[in-house]
Amino acid sequence: MNEAAQLLFDYLKDAWNQPDRARLDADALPEDFRELGEGLICFVEGVLEVRAFAKALSRGDLSAAPPGRQNELAAPLKALQASLRHMTWQSQQVAKGDYRQRLEFMGEFAEAFNTMTGQLSDRQAALESQIERIRAQSAALEQSNRVFQALTEGMVNWIAVVDSNTGERLFANRAARDGLEGKIGADVWNWLVRQARTGAEPRARELIASDGASVVTFSVTSHMLPWNERTAVAYMLSDVSDERKYLRELESRAYLDPLTQLNSRYYGMRTLSAWLGERRRFTLCFVDLDNLKYVNDTFGHAEGDRFLVAAADAIRQLSPDGVCVRLGGDEFMVLVPYADAEEVARDMEALRARLAAPRALEPAPYLRSISYGVVEVGEDNALPSSELLGLADERMYEYKRAQKKARKAQLK
Amino acid sequence: MPNILENPRRHSHFRWDGLGDIREGRGDLGEDMPVLVYRLMQFTMLDVLSREFGEAEADRLFRKSGHLAGTEFARNALNLQLDFDGFVAQLQRALAELKIGILRMERFDQGTGEIMLTVEQDLDCSGLPITDENVCTYDEGFIAGVLEAFAGRPYDVREVDCWASGDRVCRFSGRLSDA
């Protein structure tokens, strides 16, 4: 081998085995070999440049500067670098949630990557669909809540929700908020909390609260309900004070005689039937005012009414446990429990005498007198109320006739 | 006597709607044509401009034409209201559908606006014989125009490298020119 060929071969061998030491001085070559030497240097440098670039890529350095454009040997590696850098970008996009990223190169890896992003995309679509469903439900709930709030805020009834464990106020509509801040608020709230804590089954109740000056009656309905993983009771309080007052007035009209404030006929007859049904022992006393027509005609109806009221007040004293009834006109009935007829007749005589006593402040000159008839009713009584009343009425007339006869005898 | 009915518009003044109704105008031949024809026009024009004005000036004119094309394309064919990632995804699809090239993002710095991307199977240059020169000056302008239309700030895009291995992949680096 000649000297030039040896230099070229040694250079090639060094470039292969120990590239750091590979040196070739092209100018030292004979002129015929100089261009070959320069080409070989260019080739070796190109190979070494590609080797360094490949090494950087193998270390994962995707930002390594690639060989220049004149180095065509590096073209496949540069294309690989571009692909890897793009894959990095795509992975970053996937990490940000863009699951539409697809790889069109890298063979099996691309297939796996695309499967992964496809699955992520499907999962996201399912999640988005679920989110959309929940959002729609949430919107519907919100709408319902707005309707609920508008309705509850406009209601005059109090609506309050109480945590049945802690007694915490979970919700109150405007009426309840205002009411609970008022004078009776504390009492009402304490009552609600006590009720909630008992854990009793919901039912309708009535609550009477008073601030000392006035009394408020509430009709209360309650419902157990879950409240954000708590157990709560929802209360609705309706102020029924006016209704109760009206009812009491109606009851009063039905049960009381407006002039004498004794029980009404309706109430009296109902009580008589009830006592008979219960097989009570009592005495029925039928009372009639004497000469009421004469008093009305002679001294006027106002005086007649005073006579009625005076008689009623007297009759009321007959028995603290008795039921005194104005049957109508000048007729009264008294039901005296656990008393025998004689005892009642004795008391009636005393009462009759007190009523007939002279009246210093009432100038009307007439005798206030009553007649009565008593019937003792035993536990074994078989007569109906009408017959018992009829019997007492008969005895009252007998008494009245007897009294008249006696007075006539006295006048003679 | 001057023709007062003459259309004052000139095709030398580009407007997007001046591209015409291609589908109607080419009812039989259709909207597509071989890349060969595109390149025939591109490189003959480059030849003439280089001879007339020199290569540097020809490159400048090509880059400027590409910028006009990119700006108009972005304004008329792309949704500019998307966020950056959505815009890139849209641009990738559009370039692939129009067979301009396969755009691949390598890097984008949101702080500085610097961007690095490659275009594979490029309409302008993939498959060209290797020479030690930048041939994608039109692409440089096109990409700059698209980015400028999206960002609202001027971009300077340069082809960093252009290399071949059967397929030709071009790497472009862009940065805000007013930064």
**Residue A221 structural domain:** 155-240
- Looking at the complex, report in whole angstroms how far the Cα of residue A144 sits from the nearest Cα belonging to chain B: 35
A396 and A266 within one domain? yes
Amino acid at B143: I
Task: Say if residue A235 is in the same domain as residue A266.
Answer: no
Structure token pair of residue A24: 């070739």
Choosing among A78, A91, A96, A101, which should be mutated to test the B contact, i.e. which has the most B CBs within 10 A? A78
Q: Is residue A104 part of a domain?
A: no
Q: Is A349 on the interface with B (CB under 8 A)?
A: no
Considering only the beta carbons, identify the residue of B102, B105, B171 that sits closest to A89: B105
Q: Is A129 a domain residue?
A: no
Domain identity same for A262 and A344:
yes
Residue among A353, A351, A321 at smallest CA distance from A338:
A321
Amino acid type, A196: A
> Who contacts A22 (Cβ-Cβ below 8 Å, separation ≥6)?
A11, A14, A15, A44
Average pLDDT for A2-23: 89
Cβ-defined contact of B106 to A100 (cutoff 8 Å) = no
* CB contacts, 8 Å: A96 with chain B: 85
Q: Which of B95, B103, B104 to mutate to test the interface with A (most CBs of A within 10 A)?
A: B104
CA B33, CA B40: separation in Å to the nearest integer?
12
User: Are residue A196 and residue A235 in the same domain, yes or no?
Assistant: yes
User: Rounded to whole angstroms, what are the CA distances from A2 to A7, A12, A25, A100, B13?
Assistant: 9, 15, 16, 65, 70
Question: At residue B163, does pLDDT exceed 60?
Answer: no
Residue A401 included in any domain: yes
Please write the tens of the pLDDT for every residue from A170-227: 999 999 999 888 888 888 898 888 888 887 665 668 888 887 778 888 899 888 888 8
Taking CA–CA distances from B105, the nearest residue in chain A reads A86
Q: Strand, helix or coil at B160?
A: strand
Q: Please return the burial class of A311, using the count of CB atoms within 10 Å of its CB with bins 0-12, 13-18 and 19+.
A: buried
Q: Are A263 and A326 in contact (CB under 8 A)?
A: yes
Distances (CA, A) of A5 to A11, A27, A45, A261: 10, 14, 19, 148
Domain boundaries, given as residue ranges, for chain B? 16-176
What amino acid occupies position A19? P
Last residue of a domain, one of A49, A64, A92: A92
Does residue B128 register a pLDDT over 60? Answer: yes
Cβ neighbours around A254 below 10 Å, total:
11
B106 and A89 in contact by Cβ < 8 A?
A: yes
Task: Indicate whether A165 and A272 sit together in one domain.
Answer: no
Same domain, yes or no, for A307 and A403? yes
- A282-289/A230-239 β-pairing: unpaired
Among all residues of chain B, which has the CA nearest to that of A62? B106
In the structure, what pLDDT confidence band is assigned to residue B165 with cuts at 50, 70 and 90? very low
| Model confidence pLDDT, tens digit, residues B43-74 | 999 999 999 999 999 999 999 999 999 999 99
The CATH number of residue A403's host domain is 3.30.70.270
Q: Tokens 């498959």 label which residue?
A: B127
Bridge-partner residues for A283, per DSSP?
A336, A376
Q: Using one digit for the tens of pLDDT, what is the confidence trace for B11-23?
A: 889 999 989 999 9
Burial class (CB in 10 A: 0-12, 13-18, 19+), A374: buried
Environment class of B15 (CB within 10 Å of its CB; exposed 0-12, middle 13-18, buried 19+): exposed
Which of A320, A101, A220 minimizes the C-alpha distance to B103?
A101
Q: How many CB pairs under 8 A join A and B?
A: 54
- Is B164 touching A (CB cutoff 8 A)? yes
Check if A49 contacts B (Cβ < 8 Å): no
In a domain, A26, yes or no: yes
Largest CA distance in chain A: 193
The angle at the Cα of B174, spanning B172 to B175, to the nearest 5 degrees, equals 165
Backbone angle region of A57, left / alpha / beta, with phi > 0 → left and psi within -120 to 50 → alpha: alpha
**What ipTM was reported for this prediction?**
0.72
Partner residue facing B165 (CB), from A76, A89, A98: A76
For residue B103, list chain A residues with Cβ-Cβ distance below 8 A: none
- The answer to whether the CB atoms of B85 and A88 lie below 8 A apart is no
- Tell me what pLDDT residue A202 has: 59
DSSP string, A218-277: EEEEEEEEEETTEEEEEEEEEE-HHHHHHHHHHHHHHHB-TTT-SBPHHHHHHHHHHHHH
Same domain, yes or no, for A199 and A292? no
Residue A102 pLDDT > 60: yes
Both A267 and A407 in one domain: the answer is: yes
Q: How far apart are CA A284 and CA A252, in angstroms?
A: 23
pLDDT for position A361: 57
Taking CB atoms and an 8 Å limit, are A75 and B164 in contact across chains? yes
**Amino acid found at B84:** F
- What is the Rg, in whole angstroms, of the alpha carbon atoms belonging to chain B? 18
Residue A78: which H helix or E strand, with range? helix A75-95
Cα-atom radius of gyration of chain A, to the nearest Å? 57
Q: What is the pLDDT of residues A280-327, one digit of tens each?
A: 999 999 999 998 999 999 988 998 999 999 899 989 888 888 999 999
Q: Domain check: are A298 and A377 in the same one?
A: yes
CA dist., res. B144 & res. B174, Å (int):
7
| CB-based contact, A42 to chain B, within 8 Å | no
Query: Do residues A403 and A260 both lie within one domain?
Result: yes
Write down the pLDDT at residue B46: 95
Predicted confidence at residue B166, as pLDDT, reads 47
Distance between CA atoms of A202 and A176, rounded to whole angstroms?
19
The answer to whether residue A307 is domain-embedded is yes
* Other Cβ atoms within 10 Å of A153 Cβ, number: 12
Mean pLDDT is lowest, of A238-242, A251-255, A278-282, B151-155, for: A251-255
A294, A381: one domain: yes
Provide CB contacts within 8 A for A335, sequence distance 6+.
A268, A271, A272, A275, A282, A283, A284, A285, A322, A323, A325
Q: How far is B109 from chain A (nearest CA, A)?
A: 12
In a domain, A134, yes or no: no
Taking an 8 Å cut-off on Cβ atoms, the answer to whether B165 and A79 are in contact is yes
DSSP state of A20: G
The closest alpha carbon to A325, from A378, A376, A406, A270, belongs to A270
Q: Please tell me whether residue B130 adopts helix, strand or coil conformation.
A: coil
The nearest CA of chain B is from the CA of A16 a distance in Å of 25
Which residues of B are less than 8 Å from A98 in CB distance?
A: 85, 89
Domain finish residue from A214, A240, A266: A240
Does B85 contact chain A (CB < 8 Å)? Answer: yes
B16-176, which class in CATH? alpha beta
Residues A278 and A367 in one domain: yes
Rounded to whole angstroms, how far apart are CA atoms A267 and A284?
A: 15
- Interface contact flag, B106 A82, Cβ < 8 Å: yes
Compute the distance between CA of residue A163 and CA of residue A166 in angstroms, rounded to an integer. Answer: 6
Max Cα–Cα distance, chain B, nearest Å: 61
Is B118 within 8 Å of chain A by CB? yes
| Domain count across chain A | 3
Q: Which of A92, A124, A147 lies at the terminal end of a domain, its last residue?
A: A92
Q: Which of residues 196-225 of A touch B (CB under 8 A)?
A: none
